[in-house]
Amino acid sequence: MPELAGKPVIDLLVTLTDWDNECDVAAGLETLGYREQSTNDGLPRRFFYRQSPGGSVEAVHLHLTPQHSTYGRDMIVFRDSLIGNAELAQQYVALKRQLAADNPDNIDAYTAGKSNFVAQVLREAAGAFGNDRLLTHQRAELGRAQRYQNFALASQFGVAVIAAMSAYSNDNSVQLNLAISGFILAAIWFAFARKQRAHRSAGDQARRVVLLASGLDENFSAEQRLRIFDKFSVPIIGVSLLREEAYFASRSAPGYRRLAELIEESAYWTRDLQKASATILQSVLAIIGIIMALALWLGIPLLPSDVTISMARVLVAILVFMLSSDLVGAIFAHREAASSISEIIQRTETAAARGYPAADVLLLMSDYNAIVESAPFALPGVYELRCQSLTRRWRAYLENKQQ
């Protein structure tokens, strides 16, 4: 750990992929000058030390553990916590200096004095990777992704507005300024679209992790934890954490049944939001089509030809916006996602009838994630609009299943 004061001893952690080879490895370490010291803590680990060339003090400590052991993982998590938090590292340094001053000749008391600090850091690190925090990160990242998507859509609409405005001017300087504005809005759209993809990727990964962690009570290595949290860029400091027991209705013990129930609940809500989004977009498209048809029907015979031409240009600009934003494609995408998610719900019922086979449930999870990650976002405000009625329907659905 850079710039961290400590004893002049190098700490090494060695993990074995095959713990059955521990005796052979221990014998090899002894030929390198290491000596074993008993740990007496009942853990599957062995501790070695090697003295300095002069033989007066210990220069190296080596911890031998099985791969994925809790002891080894905690050492890595503690180290990474100090590296990532300079203030915490200095608190640890101050504690060690005080313990060294109070116990100059008692290494056991020195070590015991650090135990509460280490345990607290590990508890906080475990809480930082808890399901409540992951759910909160998931909501924050996906919410930010949807916001950027809305900004990108607004940029596309701005380009359409500029195209419509250009129909009313023949001045070259005005046309040039409008063109420049259009290019700027296009660049803004590109930036928003890129940010949207990054936040959505982080949110989608959080959802996959939550399903495994909450459904199967799986633990992840320290390296995977850091990789996952490195992708989160939306701060949640000061935000009330989403509670796992309030987010999911399932009260089953961790296992493949619980994982299937989490998938079923998520699919039930997602299907409704996708259907509602498709219906709203379809209604908007129908209204726009009616307005355009009426404008052409009333305008052509009544308005002067130059006005009719300008109006036609505006309608063409609106049509370009609808095509560039893929409004029609979004309707079909929402419908297809809802249909595919309905199939997922049916498959969870089949898995339940078969006793939740592990392979079936894992395939369900993989297919559900693939569908959700390829589906468009639900429209803004749809969740708030549908939340109360959907909650009542979901409760009724659960009661009917239990009968």
In tens, the pLDDT along 54-89 reads: 766 678 999 999 987 888 888 888 887 888 788 888
Burial label for 287, CB within 10 Å (0-12, 13-18, 19+), is exposed
- CA–chain centroid gap for 5, Å, is 36
pLDDT for 264 equals: 95
Per-residue pLDDT, averaged over 304-309, amounts to: 60
Q: At 300, is the pLDDT very low, low, confident or very high (cuts 50, 70, 90)? A: low
Q: What is the mean pLDDT of the segment spanning 94-119?
A: 89
Residues with Cβ within 8 Å of residue 235, at least 6 apart in sequence: 140
Q: Could you give the count of Cα atoms lying within 13 Å of 369 in the half-sphere of its Cβ?
A: 20
The answer to whether residues 335 and 278 touch, using CB atoms and an 8 Å cutoff, is yes
Q: Please, which pLDDT band fits residue 320 given cuts at 50, 70 and 90?
A: low
The answer to whether 352 and 260 are in contact (CB under 8 A) is yes
pLDDT-wise least confident of 40-49, 137-146, 235-244, 301-310: 301-310
Strand ranges across the sheet with 10-16: 10-16, 58-66, 46-51, 35-37
Distance in angstroms between the alpha carbons of the first and the last residue of the chain = 59
pLDDT of 28 over the 90 cut:
yes
CB 206 within 8 A of CB 246: no
- pLDDT at position 319 is 63
Q: Say if residues 232 and 201 touch (Cβ distance below 8 Å).
A: no
**How high is the pLDDT of residue 86?**
83
Query: How much is the pLDDT for 372?
Result: 95
Q: What is the mean pLDDT of residues 242-254?
A: 88
Residue 259: the pLDDT is 96
The three state secondary structure string of the chain is CCCCCCCCCEEEEEEECCHHHHHHHHHHHHHCCCEEECCCCCCCCEEEEEECCCCCCEEEEEEEEECCCHHHHHHHHHHHHHHHCHHHHHHHHHHHHHHHHHCCCCHHHHHHHHHHHHHHHHHHHHHHCCHHHHHHHHHHHHHHHHHHHHHHHHHHHHHHHHHHHHHHCCCHHHHHHHHHHHHHHHHHHHHHHHHHHHHHHHHHHHHHHHHHHHHHCCCCCHHHHHHHHHCCCCCCCCCCCCCHHHHCCCCCCCCHHHHHHHHHHHHHHHHHHHHHHHHHHHHHHHHHHHHHHHHHHHHHHHCCHHHHHHHHHHHHHHHHHHHHCCHHHHHHHHHHHHHHHHHHHHHHHHHHHCCCCHHHHHHHHHHHHHHHHHCCCCCCCHHHHHHHHHHHHHHHHHHHHHC
Structure tokens at 232: 């989160």
Q: What is the mean pLDDT of residues 304-311?
A: 61
Percentage of the residues of the chain whose pLDDT score is greater than 90? 40
Answer yes or no: are the C-beta atoms of 211 and 263 closer than 8 Å: yes
Which of these ranges, 19-33, 84-98, 195-209, 332-346, has the smallest mean pLDDT? 84-98
Band (pLDDT 50/70/90 cuts) for residue 242 is confident
For the chain, give the mean pLDDT.
85
- For residue 303, what pLDDT band results from cuts at 50, 70 and 90? low
Residues 36, 48: Cα–Cα separation, whole Å: 4
pLDDT class of 356 with cuts at 50, 70, 90: very high
Check: CB of residue 248 under 8 Å from CB of residue 350. no
Q: Pick the range with the lowest mean pLDDT from 81-85, 308-312, 399-403.
A: 308-312
What share of the chain in percent tops pLDDT 70?
Answer: 87
Q: How many whole angstroms separate alpha carbon 53 and alpha carbon 347?
A: 67
Residue 395 pLDDT exceeds 70: yes
More confident: 352 or 162: 352
pTM over 0.75: no
Of residues 120, 148, 124, 138, the one with CA closest to residue 228? 138
State the Cα–Cα distance between residues 251 and 245, nearest whole angstrom: 8
Confidence of residue 403 (pLDDT cuts 50, 70, 90): low
- Rounded Cα distance between 260 and 246, Å, is 17
Confidence label for 343 from pLDDT (cuts 50, 70 and 90): very high
Q: Rounded to whole angstroms, how far apart are CA atoms 34 and 366? A: 48
What pLDDT band is residue 127 in, cutting at 50, 70 and 90? low
Burial of residue 98, with CB atoms counted within 10 A of its CB: 0-12 exposed, 13-18 middle, 19 or more buried? exposed
